[in-house]
Amino acid sequence: MANNRTIVDEKQPTIINQAKANQSINGKKFKLFIEAALRWLRANQQLVNSLNVFPVPDGDTGTNMLLTMQAAYNEISSMEDENIGRIAKNVAQGALMGARGNSGVILSQILRGFARVLDNHPEMDALLLSHALSESRNTAYKGVVRPVEGTILTVIKDISIAVENSVTRSTDLATILEDAVKAADESVKFTPELLPILKTAGVVDSGGKGLYILLEGILRFIKGQSLDESAVIVRDLSSIKFAETMDSVEDGQDVEVVVDFAPYKTLDLESFYEDLSKIGTSIQVGEGDGLYRMHIHTETAKQDEPEALIRQMGEIYKVYKEDLVEQMKRIEAKKSEIIFNDFVPGTIAVVAVSPGIGLSQIFASQGATAIVAGGQTMNPSIQEILKSFEDLPTDKVIILPNNKNIILAANSAKALSVKQVEVIPTRNVAQGISAILRWNPEGDFQEVVDDMKDSLSEADCGEITTSTRTVELNGVKVDKGKIIGLLNGTLLITGESVAEACINLLEKTDLDQRERITLFYGSDMSEDEAQTVADEITETFPDHEIELHNGGQPHYQIIMSLE
């Protein structure tokens, strides 16, 4: 867990000793600003995660941006350089290698543009700040093939415009930052007017909100305000999963504690969060069916304190404790269980991103040379993708992201490699499996790439999960806690059971064009439960071939590949 170490001992007043931003700042002050931004984003990580368009338990924008910023800070944590250009350059490099998901990659581009303008400057004044933010905007827009307004891109654009106007009136950096934060806030609130899907879902853009929070953290630092007050977010009970926050484990977090309980009276969530924050981190609270679920990471010596706290306010139904170090070892051990086919050096290698151990083995059996663990809520970093193939004995590599939120990171890894790398833009597991079936390791590289890309229309992907909130999307009314089905990322149906949802979703597809239905059941389903679902589908659609495999993916009870 060394790569996820805590940036500061939060008991130490490292940020309370204020450094006023006036006419200019140097590298040391900029480092403090980055630290403050990171701490405030960490405190509000779940708030950003909750701004998910679809009511599914996989919102991860806050986590992706947090881990990207953590990687950025790690690059400067031991630096004492007063040259702001050198500090900014290291921040950008750390963010690039640690970037995860679309939001993290775009954030890294924002920081890259910022650093480019500051290069070798000892200090930054108001005018240089304005130029740096303008370049941040330009770099971020250039980094996206099809920029979409109403996203983090719009927010950085509005911030840069606000600062351009502000520097004509003031040279005080604190005043200018206030204008920037205000502009970011207004821009985020306006995102639903630019992106209809946000308005329909009743949320603002999560990436834009994350960027606003980063700037707000710096402003709070300047004003001497707390950076550790987290927004109280109550998620659906079913969305709080064991070990789901492993990517953000910090040093000193030795034990994962999960407690299911029923409060004796209405729970004071603000006070509850405040008490928990004194015990540990990675705090999450879920609610459903009259029960609450509390999730926290603590030191070994404090592992009993969450249970003791909760016994004072309610009846405990279940307590789960897990050694995080051992948990990480098991995760790594599972990865080593994958059996790969022999690879012939110099031939075309395939790297597949996979959300579950079962799916990983399937990709390996079809010829994948390397597997990167990743999917919803666990987007791999650019560095992890790059590392997966840089040491392979070949200069020809094909990457299957298998998730729309990983494609940008895969392309960034491609740009950093000296090898011949191509990214097949697979947006889901079904497309990934369809593509790898076209893989010819000894064929002409470009012909193989083109053939694999041609396969993307051959498979539809169905996903069955549990709704995390009540909403109406695409004309479908969804109640929190109900089973829902998505086809190629579009919400289409609801159901009372997993089997009913599968059947309802299949009836919405053009099955006349498909011959085989492959079911991959998730980590929360037993083989017997999955077989019952498969039997009901077989009975309903007797003319189709039905296959059942253990996918091992989190959050989604069933992933279906329709071929």
Instruction: Render pLDDT for 155-196 as a digit per residue (tens, 0 to 9).
Output: 999 999 999 999 999 999 999 999 999 999 999 999 999 999
Looking at the DSSP bridge assignments, the partners of residue 287 are: 236, 292
What whole-number distance in Å separates Cα of residue 134 and Cα of residue 157?
8
| pLDDT, greater one: 202 or 397 | 397
pLDDT band at 231 (very low <50, low <70, confident <90, very high): low
Phi, psi (rounded to 5 degrees) for 514:
-125, 140
- Top-tier CATH class for 337-458: alpha beta
What whole-number distance in Å separates Cα of residue 294 and Cα of residue 317?
12
Q: Model confidence over 68-82: pLDDT tens digits? A: 999 999 999 999 999
Residue carrying the six token digits 């139904």 = 317
- pLDDT for 335: 58
Statement: the pTM of the whole predicted model exceeds 0.85: no
- pLDDT for 251: 56
Taking the mean position of all CA atoms in its chain, how far away is CA 327? 20
- pLDDT for 43: 87
Q: Answer yes or no: are the C-beta atoms of 229 and 217 closer than 8 Å.
A: no
Tokens representing 354? 């996979």
Averaged pLDDT, 145-150:
90
- Rounded percentage of the chain residues whose pLDDT exceeds 90: 67
Averaged pLDDT, 120-129:
95
pLDDT band at 333 (very low <50, low <70, confident <90, very high): low
Looking at the DSSP bridge assignments, the partners of residue 519 are: 548, 560
- pLDDT for 14: 41
Instruction: State yes or no: pLDDT of 444 exceeds 70.
Output: yes
In the sheet that 420-423 helps form, which strands lie side by side, from edge to edge? 370-373, 349-354, 396-400, 420-423
Q: Give span(s): CATH 3.40.50.510, the chain.
A: 337-458
Instruction: State yes or no: pLDDT of 292 exceeds 60.
Output: yes
Averaged pLDDT, 374-401:
92
The per-residue DSSP string of 197-230 comes to HHHHHT---HHHHHHHHHHHHHHHHHHT--S---
Nearest-5° Cα angle at 488, 485 to 491: 35
Q: Which contiguous run of DSSP H or E holds residue 548?
A: strand 545-550
Averaged pLDDT, 498-520:
92
CATH T-level fold of 460-562: Hypothetical Protein Tm841; Chain: A;domain 3 (3.30.1180)
- pLDDT for 492: 94
Averaged pLDDT, 369-390:
90
What whole-number distance in Å separates Cα of residue 154 and Cα of residue 226?
28
The per-residue DSSP string of 258-311 comes to EEEEEESS---HHHHHHHHHTTEEEEEEEEETTEEEEEEEE-GGGTTHHHHHHH
The CATH H-level superfamily of 2-223 is DhaL domain (1.25.40.340)
Weakest-pLDDT range from 154-158, 306-310, 523-527: 523-527
pLDDT band at 303 (very low <50, low <70, confident <90, very high): very high
Top mean-pLDDT range of 329-338, 407-416, 504-513 = 407-416
- pLDDT for 394: 96
State the chain's mean pLDDT as an integer: 88
- pLDDT for 481: 83
Q: Model confidence over 104-121: pLDDT tens digits? A: 999 999 999 999 999 989
Q: Answer yes or no: are the C-beta atoms of 351 and 373 closer than 8 Å.
A: no
pLDDT band at 49 (very low <50, low <70, confident <90, very high): confident
CATH 3.30.70.100 for domain 234-329: no
- pLDDT for 104: 94
Instruction: State yes or no: pLDDT of 536 exceeds 70.
Output: yes
Q: Please, which contacts does 447-452 make with residues 24 or more away whose CB atoms are closer than 8 Å?
A: 448/348, 448/398, 449/398, 449/422, 449/424, 452/398, 452/424
- pLDDT for 18: 41
What whole-number distance in Å separates Cα of residue 85 and Cα of residue 119?
4
- CA-wise closest residue to 364 among 348, 350, 346: 350
What whole-number distance in Å separates Cα of residue 483 and Cα of residue 248?
28
* 558: Cβ contacts below 8 Å, ≥ 6 apart: 462, 463, 464, 498, 502, 519, 520, 521, 522, 525, 530, 533
Q: Give span(s): CATH 3.30.1180, the chain.
A: 460-562
Q: Give span(s): CATH 3.30.70.3100, the chain.
A: 234-329
Q: Give span(s): CATH 1.25.40.340, the chain.
A: 2-223
